[in-house]
Amino acid sequence: MKKITYFYIKTCPYCKNANRAIEELMAENEAYRAVEFERICEEENPDIVKDYDYYYVPCMYIDGNKVYEADPSQGYEEIRESVRGVLEKALQS
């Protein structure tokens, strides 16, 4: 199992949806609760962010590889399914 590096902005509505999805998915599937997240607030950690290539948040990496970057057209259900995919990849690694 691999750790997920999760970049976010506190006031971002897409990040709030991703957080909601993480909570719901973990409540529904016990296996997801074992996945470790390294949460990095973009505004508080510009020195870390500069080493990663992304434009939109939320953005998630596993082993330095981008596995999800939000798209402004995504609604909650799309974000939730994307987050589920990231959790599944973390479990398979």
Q: What is the pLDDT of residues 19-38, one digit of tens each?
A: 999 999 999 999 999 999 99
Q: Which structural domain, as residue segments, surrounds residue 56?
A: 4-92
- Give mean pLDDT, residues 46-72: 96
61-93: pLDDT as tens digits: 999 999 999 999 999 999 999 999 999 999 997
Count up the domains in the chain and report the number: 1
Report the C-alpha gap between 4 and 21 in whole angstroms. 15
Q: How far apart are CA 79 and CA 71, in angstroms?
A: 9
State the Cα–Cα distance between residues 81 and 35, nearest whole angstrom.
Answer: 16
State the virtual CA torsion across 32, 93, 19, 39 in degrees, nearest 10: 120
pLDDT at 1: 85
Provide the CATH number for the domain around residue 85: 3.40.30.10
CB of 58 closer than 8 Å to CB of 66? no
pTM of the model: 0.93
